[in-house]
Amino acid sequence: MSLQPVLIDGAWRASAGTKTFQAINPATLAPLPDSFPVSPWSEIESAINAAARAAKEVAGWPGERFARFLERYADRIDPKAADLVALANQETALPVEPRLAKAELPRTTNQLRQAAAAARDGSWQRPTIDTKANIRSAFGPIGPVVVFGPNNFPFAFNGISGGDFAAAVAAGNPVIAKGHSSHPGTTRLFAVEALAAAQETEMPAGFVQLLYRTEHADGEKLVSHPLIGATGYTGARETGLVLKGAADRAGKPIYLELSSINPVFILPGALAERAAALADEFTSSCLMGTGQFCTNPGLVVLVAGPETEAFIKTVQEKFAAAPVGTLLSEGVQKHLERGVSAIRAAGAKVLTGGESGGGKGACYRNTLLTVSGDDFLARAQALQTEAFGNCSLFVVSRDAAQLPQIAGVLEGNLTGTIYSATDARDDAVYDTVAPVLRRHVGRLLNDRMPT
């Protein structure tokens, strides 16, 4: 077992931290050989200062310089695909094909190249001339950007290779990447190529840096530090909101994509029209990737009646029969256990699943729960507890008039969906639900699952 160094100020250096951790193969629950450090505040501060120096050095550079780095980085990733895919599979249990090799890695390098094009043509600056007020404005670099990557996209959302990283660099900002503890080895492989690309394109020493893990309190200090320009975070809602609070108190921009329950309203006419197809569509969406997407449909709202009872029974059977996938980590499994327990404690009943096991390694049985619309309205906050994974809650309203009430107590979500009949019989109900739901979601979808 070897302790991996951190990347600070253009060099790999032994960490000053005394705490370490290892990645765990979620399919076997065996620890992987390398260990990684938890960086102390002194080390984090060194990275901040190096990034600030790099920001000063690149100030005024043409976009071509950043484009060359991004393109060179993408070019260096391509021949390392086999190593990246193999290690990411070990660390996350995500399938090699098609997920990692055919979908996510090509998406990652494409993002880097698209960001290079934006850096080169300057389109990200969005120059605007207000002739009436005689005001000319444009976006510009903001300074060092901290990027936190999630557990479920080890390539395309990684702190040192993903979309937030690419966007920050395209805009001329140094990046301090905070790796995710589930896939530190994969992140290290990316960082090796990022450093080499930075050196080959003559970027400043502190332009790209990597820390594997920090103490929670130090993460809050990092995002609120005076020398940090902004933060990008993708991941769990609870952690993201803590970081947002710290950044907000310091007046620092922070951009977050948080986990979400993505409510789906299935109106009576749609259910009468195509219940079998909707059961297939929902099951596929909810169980895809073992439910480990931020847009997973974790809440389905229906109107009570015989067709709803039949629909729920069909989905219950499909969930029980579907294979149980491996989760990204034991941490995800434990989080799912806690989430389901909280939802049950709030009054929901388990239809199928509701316990760990049924698959390989870190796993949890495909789970469906149900609760009445009245109970949901009475305990809405608890019944919206995050249960990230292969789990969803059916809310059965007593009538269509209760649907907008349910929509009105929802927390903020990435998406919301409404399924309605094609013959316009649901239009009146749709018109009561959509205006309310729209205020609680980032994207309002019609007749399609959020994944």
Q: Does residue 57 have an active-site annotation?
A: no
Of 389, 406, 380, 387, nearest to 267 by C-alpha is: 406
- CB crowding 306-321: b at 16 or more within 10 Å, else e: ebbeebbebbbebbee
Cα distance between residue 340 and residue 349, in whole Å: 10
Pairing mode of beta strands 299-303, 391-397: parallel
Strand partners, 368: 352, 392
Of 148, 151, 146, nearest to 51 by C-alpha is: 146
Q: Other C-beta atoms within 10 Å of 198: how many?
A: 22
Identity (one letter) of the amino acid at 17? G
**Tokens, residue 421:** 């009949």
Which one from 71, 91, 220, 257 is the annotated catalytic residue? 257
Of 88, 100, 109, 449, nearest to 296 by C-alpha is: 449
Cα distance between residue 170 and residue 187, in whole Å: 20
Q: Does residue 257 have an active-site annotation?
A: yes
Q: Other C-beta atoms within 10 Å of 12: how many?
A: 14
3 state DSSP class of 352: strand
**Tokens, residue 409:** 């107590």
Strand partners, 381: none
Cα distance between residue 291 and residue 319, in whole Å: 12
**CA geometry: angle 47, 150, 418, nearest 5 deg:** 140
Contact 213, 38 (CB under 8 A): yes
Region for residue 40 given its phi and psi (left: phi exceeds 0; alpha: psi -120 to 50; beta: otherwise): beta
Which one from 220, 281, 286, 294 is the annotated catalytic residue? 294
Cα distance between residue 244 and residue 429, in whole Å: 36
Sequence length of the chain is 451
Contact 368, 398 (CB under 8 A): no
Task: Return the active site residues.
Answer: 257, 294
